[in-house]
Amino acid sequence: MLTTEPIVHTFACFTAVTFAPMSSARAWGDEEHETIALIAEHYLTPAAKPRVGALLAAATVNTFTEHNIASEATWPDKYREHGGAAKTSLWHYANIEVSTGDVAAVCFEFPKVSGRLLASDGPAKHCVVDKIDELEAEFVNAATPAAEKVLALKHRVHFVGDGYQPLHSADETDRGGKDRLIAGKFSQSKSFTPSGTRKSSRPWVRTLQPLPPR
């Protein structure tokens, strides 16, 4: 299983230091999701790490990405761009209105899902809060088909990143912060997240090591 708590705390510190000077507010891009996945991989147990690697290596459907945890963390965005938008777009965020804090409203009142419906098949009206829990339950269920476990893992690694992305978590009638510009100050942490600002081979991602032990 992926351990989310150390992922969140470590990545939050890294993001604050690295991206605070950026000038435009956008959603997580590939680099941010890859970083989260590499931190998650670091915290996998010695037994879990090869199992996760083998599971991803066996993926044969909609192979838009390489078969490693960093690349696969970007897969849900690629899938959305290749025809999956109608089914999955709403799964990526929960833009909670700042003035009300009403999570249920943005999560479609937490709809009940039939146990016969695979998490990757819907429903379309689900928010990231529901989807993370649903995917986790499916992933640890021994009865889940292997192909569905792959989809559950790829989606969950991605959605953990989306769930802690400030622009996917709050809204002030500004499209989750996308309509805001920033001055590069850490005090404006709600909207300092960049995307597509670096097109290198991402050497900075690897500088996250060494991380604290599991």
Distance CA 159, CA 131 (A): 8
Distance CA 183, CA 133 (A): 35
Is residue 129's pLDDT more than 60? yes
Model pTM score: 0.73
pLDDT per residue over 176-203, tens digit each? 666 665 554 433 333 333 333 333 344 4
How does 150-162 read in b/e, with b if 16+ C-beta sit within 10 Å?
Answer: bbbbbbbbbbbbb
pLDDT per residue over 139-169, tens digit each? 999 999 999 999 999 999 999 999 888 777 8
Q: Look up the CATH number of domain 4-206.
A: 1.10.575
pLDDT, residue 173, reads: 77
Q: How sure is the predictor about 27, in pLDDT bands with cuts at 50, 70 and 90? A: low
Q: Are residues 79 and 158 in contact, defined by beta-carbon separation less than 8 angstroms? A: no
Q: How sure is the predictor about 51, in pLDDT bands with cuts at 50, 70 and 90? A: very high
